[in-house]
Structure 1
Amino acid sequence: MAIVELSTVGTESNIAKITLNRPEARNAFTTEMAEQMLNIIREVDQSDDIRAVLITSSTEKSFCSGADLKERNNMSEGEWKNQHLLYQKMFSAIHDMKQPVIAVVDGYALAGGFEIVLNCDMLVAADTAKFGLPEVTRGIMPGCGGTRLLSKRIGVHRAKEWVCTGRIVSGVEAEKIGLVNVLTNSSEILKKAIEIAEQIVKNGPIAVQTCKQSIEALFGMPNEEAKKIEISYYNRCIDTEDRLEGVRAFVEKRHPRFAGK
């Protein structure tokens, strides 16, 4: 049985759903799981048919509890570092996917599990979700984007508090400070995530992908430099068939049929 599963959802089956499926271990990821995840992400990223991605769990008890410390317990220092290089590739692949990626979280998203969330573009969470980066309680620090990305999501002061205390934060608290896009209950999270994804996939895929890239590239950049780079991203959309189709559809009062060209 696959411990990472890929399926499609949505009215046009153009939304990829990546499901973590190791419930007996709270989806703690092993080398095998990371390899499966990386292969699936690369497959989806290369697809022109997939226009949005959901990452979710097969169990409402846990989204992902991070790296499997039982597997790591007997590793040499070299083996640990080699495994972490694989993890870095996996997390970077999530972050760099051309499609918008929505984390769909119930239960625990801790350590590397929370870093999966932070490497996604949006977050739909249940009010029973729990988030945290408890690495300091094990004498280590987040190694796949936690310190780099959390401050972008919730601000520097709160990020320092969360990371340096290692405390666990409820979905309700996370929503109040702006980490969560939609907070709902366990039975509704997948439905709500699909609703957002359906809104995304109706739009021009080149425009959506370029918007994602632009936001990431320009965050925190000085305004004058950012304006120059932003217009370069804008110009990528001009010479496309999708831009012409969008204008035609508006004039003809119909829904556009974007081809991603």
Structure 2
Amino acid sequence: MAKHTTDTGKPACCGPGVLTACTIKNVEEKNVTDKKNTRMQQLGYRKPADVPEPDQLVLVEFVSDGRVAIITLNRPHADNAITTELAAQLIEVLETIAARSSVRVAILTGAGDRAFSVGGDLYQRNEMTKEQWLRQRQVFDRVLYTLRQLRRPIIAAVHGMAYGGGCEMAISTDFIIASDDAVFGQPEAMVGLSAGGGSPVLLPRVLPPGRAMQMLMTGDPITAQEAHRLGMVNELHPSDKLMEEVLRIAERIADNSPTAVQAVKRAVQMGQGEPVEQAVAIMMDEHWRSVVHPDRVEGIRAFTEGREPTFPDPDF
């Protein structure tokens, strides 16, 4: 007698909405597989490949006539996990960019195709003394502070995993453009830590507070699609098109008056959380600086003459 099948060719017992021994068996098999891995491993964490560490843990490339700096976390063998040494090099790169007047926009991304960054390197931390841990915490804090305080606009180009300190670095930038395979998570509670890189403060500002709280308490990540729907991510693109699209946005910003762009950034940052009238006062202070700046003269003159304006590098 012929076996009864569904349109998909599967046995009828496996049809949608049918909870039978067949369905239960599949669930049990999945549960057995999941139990072989820890929760952290199920998130995608893995032991770093046994290869020599690169000399340059952070790469920087200047493109678009030097106006755009692409900063790349360069530990792909470890999913760009952040060591004390990588963090120290990242500070140097950010401070170099801050002092380089020709740079108008920065992009932060990660090497390889698996991760933006999975956060602090837990294998390094496992071997640390208390003093080494405290030193690393100070270096990490300085990285995140420097990201937040950089005068130039900085965009996070996120692909793959952005966990822990990696997610915190992303939300410390001005905005995030992500690939459609990106995932964002704060799994610190899974290893006995309270998140300390800013996510308890910053995450509820880019997500509904309850959703942020769930991420921080469970350690479960959210997909790029959910992050985009909730406003944490500005745009989604295929992974092979991500850098092309981020560079397009960076060049659009670089074409504008750097003085005006930096003024807008300060007005938004300093006005957040302030009462409306105080925030408006901050905004107007930045506005009047732009009114008396030569970029305003050049911009309006170019408009009336039917040409593109030519804005010099910022003078502060």
TM-score range, shorter chain: over 0.9
Total equivalences in the alignment: 260
Work out the CA distance in 1 between the residues paired with 2:236 and 2:166: 18
Query: Residue by residue, what CA displacement relative to the aligned partner does 1:95-150 show, whole Å, maximum 9, x if unpaired?
Result: 11111111111111000000110101111111111110011111112212111111
- Given candidates 227, 236, 240, the residue that maps to 1:174 is 227
Q: How does 1:48-197 map to 2 (within 5 A)?
A: 48-197=101-250
- Given candidates 83, 86, 93, the residue that maps to 1:30 is 83
Work out the CA distance in 2 between the residues paired with 1:77 and 1:156: 33
Asked if residue 4 in structure 1 is aligned to residue 58 in structure 2, the reply is: yes
Identify the range of structure 1 (124-133 vs 155-164) with the bigger mean alpha-carbon deviation.
Answer: 155-164
Q: Which runs of 5+ in 1 are unaligned?
A: none
Work out the CA distance in 2 between the residues paired with 1:113 and 1:166: 14
Paired amino acid for 2:58? V
Work out the CA distance in 1 between the residues paired with 2:124 and 2:244: 34
CA contact (8 A) 2:208 2:230 kept: no
Give TM-score scaled by structure 1 length.
Answer: 0.97
SS in 2 for 1:187: helix
Aligned-residue sequence identity (percent) comes to: 34
Work out the CA distance in 1 between the residues paired with 2:287 and 2:195: 35
Work out the CA distance in 1 between the residues paired with 2:145 and 2:230: 25
* 1:179 CA displacement: 0.9
Identify the range of structure 1 (72-81 vs 22-31) with the bigger mean alpha-carbon deviation.
Answer: 72-81
Greater Rg by CA: 2
Paired amino acid for 1:217? M
Where does residue 42 of structure 1 map in the other structure?
95
Query: Residue by residue, what CA displacement relative to the aligned partner does 1:8-65 show, whole Å, maximum 9, x if unpaired?
Result: 123x331000011101111001111111100000000111100001011121111101
Paired amino acid for 2:88? E
Where does residue 231 of structure 1 map in the other structure?
284
Paired amino acid for 1:247? I
Work out the CA distance in 2 between the residues paired with 1:83 and 1:50: 29
* 1:73 CA displacement: 1.0
Asked if residue 219 in structure 1 is aligned to residue 284 in structure 2, the reply is: no
Work out the CA distance in 1 between the residues paired with 2:156 and 2:226: 17
* 1:224 CA displacement: 1.6
Paired amino acid for 2:224? G
Q: Which ranges of 4 or more aligned residues in structure 1 deviate by more than 3 Å?
A: none
RMSD: 1.1
Paired amino acid for 1:182? E
Asked if residue 208 in structure 1 is aligned to residue 261 in structure 2, the reply is: yes
SS in 1 for 2:240: coil
* 1:74 CA displacement: 2.0
Query: Residue by residue, what CA displacement relative to the aligned partner does 1:157-182 show, whole Å, maximum 9, x if unpaired?
Result: 21111111111111111111111111
Work out the CA distance in 2 between the residues paired with 1:35 and 1:76: 18
* 1:76 CA displacement: 2.1
Give TM-score scaled by structure 2 length.
Answer: 0.80
